[in-house]
Structure formats: C-alpha cells, structure tokens
C-alpha cells in the first residue's frame, strides 16, 4: 500500500525539517505552503518533499483539503508542521496498512507539549486525532480552526503516540491565542452567532474552570495553570471579537 504524507505549513522553518525527516520512509511527502517568508518551502524540497504553494489562507480545514487533493497514495497521513512520527508509531502505521482489518481510518493518540512540558491532563491528554485514512473515504470539515476529519467508514485506534510541540514559549502562546480567537470569531460570525460582554466573560471564566479543575490542569503544575489562563483568554477574546464584529455590521447597516 502506497502512503502519502500531507503537511500544511506557513513560516515553519524551525519545525518542518523534523516533521519531514520523521516520515522519510513514506512513499510520498507533500507540503502545501501558504506563502512562507522564512525558507520553509526550500527546506521541505531539500528533504525530498513535493512542495506546492498558495497565496491565500482560507483556514485550516479548507487548506488541509487542498493538500489532500494533491495526494496519490492508497493511504494518507495528515500532519501539522509541529508534529512528528516516532519509530514506534511508524511500526504500528506500517502494520495497520498491511492489515487494516476493515478499518478505513485510524485514530492516533497525540502527546503535546506546552512551553517545554508534555501535558498529561488539562484536556490535552488523552487526545486522539484521526489522521491516517484511506484516500477517498474522508475529508476535513471546512472550519477555519479546530477542523475535524469526516470519515465514511470504520475507524480503528493505534497505540503509539504522535508527538506534537504545540506551544514552544509564552510569546508563541499569545500569538496563537490571538490568531485562533480571531479565526474563531469570524467562523461564528459567518454562522450568524452573536455575543456580548457578559457572554465573553462567562466563556473565559468557564474555560479556565474546565481546563484547570474539571480536566485536572492543576496536575500539570505551573504549565497547567498557564495553559488554563491562555485557554481562558482565547475564549474571552473570541467572544469579545464576535461582539465587536457584529456591532460593526450593525452600524454599517444603519
């Protein structure tokens, strides 16, 4: 069975090399680059990946579907540039492709780090993501953020983790929080949803409580608290931006 690995990237020069090197054994590696300015595309090409570029950014779901359309393998493994495959995961992937047992897709447990600390709680673990699938039986949702893989068929589970360096430092946490909250606000605005200051405060407070208490973020030490605050800020700003965007539309329509 031929395996295609597809990766979307933008300005991932520090990450893309590790990602591609970890799947150098695959039959095909495709990187869809979104107008990177840091040499991401050149690094990917130097490691043997096929690189295509786009000038626009439609969101994570649509961009992943663009990358998926470029794959030619029987099976597809979809990765983000900040993820990589361990030798153990490679072995179970190869075994799954040799004997899928009726499954057309597989969930993979993902182990993610926040500011250098691998999170074992906080809603980040267990974190099963469906990333390995037969080409033609699945596509990504069109969500701008937090896209999902929509699969037509039976989904199995692999036991070895996919590694994920989600947030390297606090600066990156703030940048991602701002970008994701904006994308989330736009997505909700397009769905016709509304917000208010009180709703923004409520979502922020609830998100902190859910991450730190209900999902045992306190067991992740100081990084668990930091993540809970970051998540809370993201939720607060997402609904605040939604409120402001709806207000701007209302003023224009007067």
Q: In sequence order, what DSSP letters do the residues of 112-157 get, joined into one string? A: EEETTEE-SSTTSSS-EEEEEEETTSEEE---SSS--EEESS-EEE
Model confidence pLDDT, tens digit, residues 190-214: 999 999 999 999 999 999 999 999 9
pLDDT tens profile 124-145:
998 999 999 999 999 999 999 9
pLDDT in tens, 103-124: 999 999 999 999 999 999 999 9
Q: Where are the alpha helices (DSSP H) in the chain?
A: 16-21, 40-46, 60-69, 87-98, 170-190, 197-209, 221-252
Q: Is the dihedral of CA 159, 221, 207, 215 positive or negative?
A: positive
- pLDDT at residue 126, as a whole number: 86
Q: Cα separation of 50 and 43, whole Å?
A: 11
Partners of 222 in beta bridges: none
Q: What is the pLDDT of residue 17?
A: 97
CB atoms within 10 A of CB 163: 19
Distance CA 229, CA 247 (A): 27
Cis-peptide, bond into residue 121, ω within 30° of zero: no
Tell me which of 3.90.650.10, 3.90.550.10, 3.40.50.720, 1.10.3720.10 is the CATH number of domain 3-166: 3.90.550.10
Cβ neighbours for 249, distance < 8 A, ≥ 6 positions apart:
none
pLDDT score, position 100: 87
Q: So what's the pLDDT on residue 252?
A: 72
Instruction: Provide the terminal-to-terminal Cα distance of the chain, rounded to the nearest Å.
Output: 60
d(CA 84, CA 237): 31
Q: How confident is the model at residue 246 (pLDDT cuts 50, 70, 90)?
A: confident
Using the predicted structure, report yes or no on whether residue 251 has a pLDDT greater than 70: no
Given this model, what pLDDT does residue 82 score? 97
Share above pLDDT 90 across residues of the chain, in percent, rounded to a whole number? 94
pLDDT digits (tens, 9 = 90+) for 90-103: 999 999 999 988 99
CA distances from 16 to 31, 113, 185 (A): 9, 17, 28
């Amino acid at each position: 069975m031929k395996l295609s690995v597809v990766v979307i990237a933008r300005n991932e020069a520090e990450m893309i090399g590790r990602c591609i090197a970890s799947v150098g054994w695959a039959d095909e590696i495709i990187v869809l680059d979104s107008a990177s300015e840091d040499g991401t595309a050149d690094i990917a090409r130097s490691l043997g990946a096929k690189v295509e570029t786009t000038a626009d950014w439609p969101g994570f779901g649509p961009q992943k579907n663009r990358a998926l359309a470029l794959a030619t393998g029987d099976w597809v493994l979809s990765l983000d540039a900040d993820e990589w495959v361990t030798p153990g995961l490679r072995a179970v992937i190869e075994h799954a492709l040799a004997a899928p047992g009726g499954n057309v897709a597989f969930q993979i447990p993902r182990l993610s780090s926040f500011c250098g600390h691998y999170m074992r709680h906080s809603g980040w673990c267990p974190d099963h993501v469906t990333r390995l699938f037969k080409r033609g039986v699945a596509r990504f949702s069109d969500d701008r953020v937090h896209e999902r893989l929509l699969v037509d068929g039976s989904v199995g589970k692999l036991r070895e983790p996919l590694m994920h360096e989600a947030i390297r430092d606090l600066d990156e946490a703030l940048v991602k929080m701002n970008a994701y909250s904006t994308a989330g606000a736009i997505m909700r605005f397009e769905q016709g949803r509304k917000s208010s200051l009180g709703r923004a405060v409520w979502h922020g407070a609830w998100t902190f409580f859910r991450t730190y208490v209900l999902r045992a973020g306190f067991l992740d030490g100081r990084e668990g608290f930091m993540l809970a605050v970051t998540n809370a800020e993201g939720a607060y700003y997402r609904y605040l931006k939604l409120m402001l965007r709806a207000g701007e539309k209302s003023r224009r329509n007067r």
